[in-house]
Amino acid sequence: MLYYNHAWGTFDRVTADAVEHSRYLKDFASVEVRTTTGADGRVWTGRYLRGRETYLEIFGIGDVPGQDGELGSAGLGLSTEHDGDIEKLKTRLRAAGAKPIDFLQTRDFGDGKPVPWFDSVFLIERYDRFGAWAMEYRDEYLADPRSKVGPAKFPGDVTRERYLPDAYKDKVMRDITLIRVAVTASDLAATVPLLRAGGFTLRTGPGSVVASRGGTTMRFDEAPMGQTGLKRVEFDLNRPVARHVEKLGTSTLVVGPGKRAVWTF
């Protein structure tokens, strides 16, 4: 029902600037730097590394309003592939005793007329440093030519592959296969019901949860405030490459050898 869509993390300014201006990353991935106006006039500036179905969003301190713009904050979007599945998800959540919170995200393309972008479901309104949500792209957005979204391949097609551009084909990065996030115990407890209702396979250990589905694994490790954040991202590549090490601020991206890359923060 749900699949990994994207994760985001907020890092120091040196790292965010290095990501934005890296010449190597522009060859490694389909990179977009974009300032977006969402619901209620909320504005954020992100650096997007986009693959076939999955992507990563990098913020610097202050690039997004409120606590999300603070060092060590992170988030996770999980999306449906079929129109209407988000209603089925809410039914599952209620059956499990949770109380889903609805939110409609919009996007302003610059004409002052917000377009419905995606329906989202949260389980909590407040979190320490990490929040996860479910999302389903809206027909109004997918049909808007400014979104540059491809045609539907089947009725009710709201897939990640449809949403993302095909520019990844000319790059090295294909998709994200793993993320590792340090979260508070409270934030982890609030995330597990969404993962379970979304159909992920869960493995739990002392202070950690590993969730897998659809080719992406997500590991959540409990950490105190001050030590939270996105810590590791692994990628599947379009083709085998020689080993390359790229320092990006305080982070390190190791690409290859072979068809795998690892980015540690």
Tell me which residue range forms the domain holding 80. Answer: 3-264
In the prediction, which pLDDT does 97 show? 97
How far apart, in whole angstroms, are the C-alpha atoms of residue 55 and residue 204? 25
Structural contact between residues 149 and 162, judged by C-beta atoms closer than 8 angstroms: yes
pTM of the model: 0.97
pLDDT > 90? residue 40: no
Which band of pLDDT confidence, cut at 50, 70 and 90, is reported for residue 73? very high
In the prediction, which pLDDT does 88 show? 98
- Residues 218-229, mean pLDDT to the nearest whole number: 98
Residues contacting residue 57 through CB under 8 Å, at least 6 positions apart: 6, 7, 8, 9, 46, 47, 48
In the prediction, which pLDDT does 48 show? 98
Number of domains within the chain: 1
75: nearest Cα among 66, 86, 87: 66
- % of the chain exceeding 70 in pLDDT: 100
pLDDT > 90? residue 161: yes
8-36 pLDDT, tens digit each: 999 999 999 999 999 999 999 999 999 99
